[in-house]
A = this chain, B = another copy of it.
Amino acid sequence: MAKDTLKFIPFESFEIGQVQTFGAYEVTKEEVIEFASKYDAQFFHLDEEAAKHSLFGGLCASGWHTCAMTMAMMVENMDKTGRSLGSPGLDSLRWLKPVYPGDVLSVRMEVISLHPSKSRPEIGIVKNTVTVLNQDGVPVMEFTSNGIFPRGKGAD
């Protein structure tokens, strides 16, 4: 998709307490192992038998893989609802529970604060608590995201 066909969400349209829920990402054993082979080659992400004797009790996804799967859901959501100009980073991230093959992940985002930029009046930062849940509604990961959105004339 070229940049000029993208829809950006104006900063002014956000309110504290707004909640979005989206996504249904099915975690597969093949993908858990493929990601870990490239980026997080620890036995509990690679070897089903050995992982049974780990702290996690079975093969589980790399925490970074869970981040990547979450981003895939966020981008899919952006394609529907509109997007940010980017992100400077996260304020905090916690891997709360293991993510296992067969789990189906979804995302809940809640706006927690709005920061119009003082130095750059054309943008603002929206902070969200991003909670990733499994199919039982159990939070498996949580972080605070920072999205940059266009403000005033910049949102035209």
Name A's B-contacting residues (CB within 8 A).
Answer: 1-3, 6, 35, 38-43, 47, 50, 53-55, 62-65, 67-69, 71-72, 75, 83, 85-95, 143
Contacts and interface: CB of A to CB of B under 8 A. Distances in A.
B92 A91 contact: yes
A128 to B, nearest CB: 15
Contacts of A86: 55
B85 A89 contact: no
The DSSP consensus for interface residues of chain A is mixed
25 contacts: A1-B43, A2-B47, A6-B43, A35-B68, A38-B68, A38-B72, A39-B71, A39-B72, A39-B75, A40-B68, A40-B75, A41-B72, A42-B83, A55-B85, A55-B86, A63-B87, A63-B89, A64-B64, A64-B71, A68-B68, A89-B95, A90-B92, A91-B92, A92-B92, A93-B93
Please give me the 4 A-B residue pairs with the lowest Cβ-Cβ distance, nearest first: A89-B94, A39-B68, A90-B93, A89-B93
A64 B68 contact: yes
Nearest to A40: B71
Contacts of A94: 88-89
Given A39-B68, A39-B71, 16 more contacts: A2-B43, A2-B47, A3-B43, A39-B69, A39-B75, A40-B75, A41-B72, A55-B85, A55-B86, A64-B68, A64-B71, A65-B68, A87-B95, A89-B143, A90-B90, A90-B92
